[in-house]
Amino acid sequence: MRKYIVRRLVQMIIGLFLVASVTFLMFRLLPGDPTASLLDPAFTVEIRETIIERFGLNEPIHVQYIHYLQSLVQGDFGRSFYYRRPSLEVLGDKIWNTLILMLSSMIIAYGIGVIGGMILSWKRGSKIEWGGITLGLFLRSAPMFWTGMLLIMLFAFNLGWLPHSGMRTPGYEAATTFAKFFSVDFLRHLLLPMITASLYFLGTPLLIMRNTMLETHGEDYIELSRAKGLSEWRIMILHAGRNALLPVITAGALFLGQALGGQVVVEYVFGWPGLGREIVLSAQRHDYPVAQTAFLFLAFMVMLMNLVADLFYSYLDPRVKLK
């Protein structure tokens, strides 16, 4: 077990190194001048050269690459062209904001989706099943940014119940770190983006759970439970449901990666100060160090989540041996 984790961590580090290299190449080799945003055309030639030298942009590409890797290892992710601060500092809090939004909507979506999927498979062939599948497919089809806009129109502008943008009311100062994330003000801001994302995420667990539940129906142990006289609910949740859960978790782990990327538009619509919104903003400002760092962090988070999901999977199903 420990051996497995160590091997996976080593693989992850190699993977990160490769993603970092791909990112480096992408930013240097694609056409487009990374210095354009950094340099004001009004600068004199000397100032221009000083700045280019300070950011190390005058050196040949392989030297830049080695410097880049050296600084990554030292935890230096470069200085933001726009904020004029280390990009790690710019992104620090935003990582947590992204995680809070994603995990809370994922938990809600999986909770409702798994239970909904069980019910759909149990009501096979009925109108409920048909309606549930159609609803699941519709939720997966409606783009998140559009659902978000509809919710903003309804709850923020028409009814005026919830804020339409941001994470905290301007001027609001939290007394403690705990209050920062558990205050009424924060939760009110979280509610709409969370609902938007979980509506979209809901379709996947709902449909997969239904499909895998259907496969358990003919199994002997279900017949046996029925013969024992257990109630249908008990069979559905404790016997069939438990066994059908595994593929949902595997799919969920892969889906997490997709969700992290897809969440960009939710953060953008709701002005949620997370990694995804920062990627859009830094791409608009041509602030490459920040875009690059945010991108690396997203990749790192996806890898980490896949590892955690694999470990969780082997815990749930002892037949799966990790080698």
Which of 65/300 has CB closer to another protein? 300
Residue that has been written with the tokens 């997203």 in this structure: 298
Q: Are 322 and 314 in contact (CB under 8 A)?
A: yes
**How would DSSP label each residue in 40-80?**
-TTS-HHHHHHHHHHTTTTS-HHHHHHHHHHHHHTT---B-
Q: What residues form DSSP beta bridges with 79?
A: 86
Quote the least distance from Cβ 70 to another protein, whole Å: 22
Q: Are 180 and 186 in contact (CB under 8 A)?
A: yes
In angstroms, what is the minimal distance from the CB of 179 to another protein?
31
Q: What is the maximum alpha-carbon separation in the chain?
A: 88
Amino acid at 21: S
Burial of 277 (0-12, 13-18, 19+ CB in 10 A): buried
Shorter beta-carbon distance to another protein: residue 143 or 234: 143
Chain positions contacting another protein, by CB under 8 A: 11, 15, 18-19, 22, 26-27, 30-32, 124-125, 133-134, 137-138, 140-147, 149-150, 152-153, 157, 211, 214-215, 254, 257-258, 260-262, 264-265, 268-269, 276, 279-280, 283-284, 286, 291, 294-295, 298-300, 302-303, 306
What span, in angstroms and rounded, lies between the C-alpha atoms of 88 and 91?
Answer: 5
In the complex, least distance from residue 207 CB atom to another protein, rounded to whole angstroms:
8
| Residue nearer to another protein on the CB measure, 81 or 268 | 268
CA distance 237 to 245: 10
Alpha-carbon 118 to chain mean position: 26
The phi, psi pair for 286, rounded to 5°, reads 55, 40
Rounded to a whole number of angstroms, the minimum distance from the CB of residue 194 to another protein is 19
Whole-number minimum distance, CB 261 to another protein, in Å?
3
- Closer to another protein by CB, 245 or 265: give it: 265
- Measured from the CB of residue 244, what is the shortest distance to another protein in angstroms? 13
Is residue 61 within 8 Å of residue 69, measured between CB atoms?
no
> Angle, nearest 10°, between helix axes 87-122 and 127-141?
160
Between 186 and 252, name the residue whose CB sits nearer to another protein: 252
What end-to-end distance do the CA atoms of the chain give, in Å? 8
CB of 115 to another protein, least distance (A): 20
Looking at beta carbons only, is 226 or 234 nearer to another protein? 226
Choice between 169 and 258, CB closer to another protein: 258
Number of H helices, E strands in the chain: 13, 0
> Closest approach of Cβ 26 to another protein, in Å?
7
- Our CB check for another protein shows the closer of 194 and 213 to be 213
